[in-house]
Amino acid sequence: MRWQRGHRSSDVIDRRGESPGGGGGAGLGMLLQLAFMLFRRLGWAAIPLLLVGGGVLYFMGFFGGGRGGQRLADDQAQQGAAPPSEAVQFVSFVLDDVQNVWAEKFAAKGAQYQRAKLVVFTDRTSTGCGMGDAATGPFYCPLDQRAYIDLGFYNELERRFGAAGDFAQAYVLAHEIGHHVQNLLGASDRVHRAPKSQQSGANGLSVRLELQADCYAGVWAHSTGRRNLLEAGDLEEALRAAAAIGDDRLQRQATGTVSPETFSHGTSEQRSRWLRKGYDTGNPDTCDTFSAGTL
């Protein structure tokens, strides 16, 4: 994939090497609420408690606050910081490129696209959906409109799943932004509000949601081809990655058996098929997995 080295994105939050607890200024509102509550109960006798106990708690970070204890500094561009690593430069470029394409798609329909943030972390981090763990792989949290990735996943993608290449990595990120698009359009909420019996299974809504995100990743990939960003073999890298993380393949590797009733993302064939469909058409309207008779 042709990309611009040295790229920085104001939508990337780099938490690598940070502890997952978080703390600081984002909890000021919570601290003030606590102060008001204690003052109502104890009157002026609450002042020493607030000055000592509340101050200690605040500076220790116990009032990290926000969604999932996220820090206020995370929401601000990191001005004047040292140049990010090449891996962070790459995901920054891909993130901005994917979101720029979706901004154009939304504008074409008279709508405004709201940009997501990407949090790059190590091992574990706080999110609006709870504590995020690298073991789960890249994920998107609709509650804070952020995608999360431990860049070590890309090493696992290559070593464990045999899906090497920068466009395989780009596909993974485009898939997560696809979930952001679904969140903006209300598809995620409709799936999550549906009865559990409709969400699960090989033809369930959860699988259809994931396959649509694959198709949306393909829509972006289509645009890279038009803009001469694709190199020979790039599309094959993405298709290989999609197939590598199909439910049937992962279950067969882990247990030697396949249980379609527990599928959550779709089979290898389905994932690569919907990615290819988005790439071939470049049209998000063709990604309606929810109306598809067969996946």
Query: pLDDT per residue over 212-245, tens digit each?
Result: 999 999 999 999 999 999 999 999 999 999 999 9
Cβ-Cβ contacts under 8 Å for 89 (sequence gap 6 or more): 5, 6, 7, 8, 83
Whether the full predicted model's pTM is greater than 0.85, yes or no, is: no
Q: Tokens 């981090």 identify what position?
A: 125
Domain boundaries, the chain: 25-64, 78-287
Average pLDDT over residues 31-39: 40
What radius of gyration, in Å, describes the C-alpha atoms of the chain? 21
Higher-scoring residue by pLDDT: 60, 190: 190
9-24 mean pLDDT? 79
Percent helix, strand and coil across the chain, each to the nearest 5: 60, 5, 35
Residue 35: predicted pLDDT: 45
Closest to 271 in 3D by CA, of 192, 225, 202: 202
Cα separation values, 33 from 38, 46, 63, 90, 156, Å: 9, 13, 11, 42, 44
205: its two tokens = 């809504």
pLDDT, one tens digit per residue, over 139-148 is 999 999 999 9
- pLDDT of 58 > 70? The answer is no
The confidence score (pLDDT) of residue 201 equals: 93
Higher pLDDT: 82 or 205? It is 205
Residue of higher predicted confidence among 70 and 196: 196
Q: What is the mean pLDDT of residues 64-83?
A: 43
**Sole residue written with tokens 């470049």:** 282
Three-state SS for 125? strand
Q: What is the pLDDT of residue 117?
A: 98
* Residue-averaged pLDDT of the chain: 84
Q: Reply yes or no on whether the pLDDT at 22 is more than 90.
A: no
What are the tens digits of pLDDT across the range 84-142? 799 999 999 999 999 999 999 999 999 999 999 999 999 999 999 999 999 999 999 99
Cα 202 from Cα 287, distance rounded (Å): 18
